[in-house]
Amino acid sequence: MNGDVDSPTARALLALELIQGNPGISADRLGERLGVSERAARRYVSILRDAGIPIESSRGPYGGYRMGRGVRLPPLTFTATEVLALVMAVLDGHHDAGDPTAPVGSAVGKIMRALPESVAAQAEAVRRSAAAAPDLGAARPDPGTTSALVQAISQQRQVRLEYRSESGSQWVAEVDPWAVVVRHGRWYLLCHSHRADAQRAYRIDRILAVGPLDVSFTPPADLDPVAVLEEHLAIGWEYEVEVVFDAPIAAVRSWIPRALGRLEEAGERATRLVGSTSDPTWYAAQLSEPPMAFRVVRGAELSEACRAIGQRLLDAAR
């Protein structure tokens, strides 16, 4: 070994690297890699633990050392809101990372300061020069609100929400928070509302306040949050619709998202779509995409929207 690695500090850091890269490494194997005895290897592990680095160990023929959670990076201290804001940035393309006073900017800044200068310089150049086109349909919620909801979900605790609807009306509801779901840049809380005694999906950016309650709940077994949200978004709108496709359900399912409604067999080679919408023109445009014939069975507004789109296409072909 060279002089640098011969120092106790360097050996302790090398031990940390070996444990990170080889989960379950035994004390004798660690000693071999460090060029020291098994007893000395255990001493370096003790040094790391004394420094506050959580190294777990297990006994037995398959036992060894492995890292505790959260120490892949150099020691950093994040708030829960900063961590969640960073995750949110990755999930929905949030690009407000240049403001050091915002949770995302603060978290990214800590990472930048911990990186080697050569790496940080490249990352900082990209951070400052890259410009992303804004997603006009995205609605990013407050990270503190989302953090409180995620904590309540993990602890299976009810919360009291203050909510403002799209129309501007406000109300307070006590809910069992089941899951947070991200869909097309929008964040939803899937929950059971005790106020409505029914399943609900609330836009998190419209939640004005959230407070934990000392009441536990049990979420539904085998819950598929994404599927449930998609189905929920297809019902309860102003215009009810029913459409029949001249194709088997397997062929239709690959074209029709759950948010449009429920698919069911309507004969050997036909499929019925039942749903609702607040925008018949948008709904008609979605129905025009599948390469199969269909007819509107119920929904006068949807029928009129389909006629208008069809006439416009015919006029364009003249």
Q: Tens digits of per-residue pLDDT, 106-156? A: 777 776 666 667 656 665 655 555 555 556 566 778 888 998 998 899 899
CATH 3.30.70 residue ranges in the chain? 239-316
> Is the domain defined by 3-67 classed in CATH 1.10.10.10?
yes
Mean pLDDT of the chain: 82
> pLDDT by residue (tens digit) across 56-78?
888 877 679 987 765 445 455 55
- Answer CATH for 239-316 from 1.10.10, 3.30.1380, 3.30.70, 3.90.550: 3.30.70
The pTM is what?
A: 0.56
pLDDT at 274: 93
Rounded Cα distance, 158 and 218, in Å? 10
30 confidence band (pLDDT: 50, 70, 90): very high
Rounded Cα distance, 100 and 141, in Å? 19
> pLDDT by residue (tens digit) across 227-285?
888 888 777 778 999 999 999 999 999 999 888 988 999 988 999 999 988 889 999 99
% of the chain at pLDDT higher than 70: 77
CATH 1.10.10.10 residue ranges in the chain? 3-67
Q: What is the CA radius of gyration of the chain?
A: 28
> Is the domain defined by 143-223 classed in CATH 2.30.30.520?
yes
pLDDT at 230: 82
165 confidence band (pLDDT: 50, 70, 90): confident
Show contacts of 104-113: CB within 8 Å, 24+ apart: 104/143, 106/82, 107/78, 107/82, 107/83, 110/76, 110/77, 110/78, 110/82, 111/73, 111/76
Rounded Cα distance, 281 and 308, in Å? 9
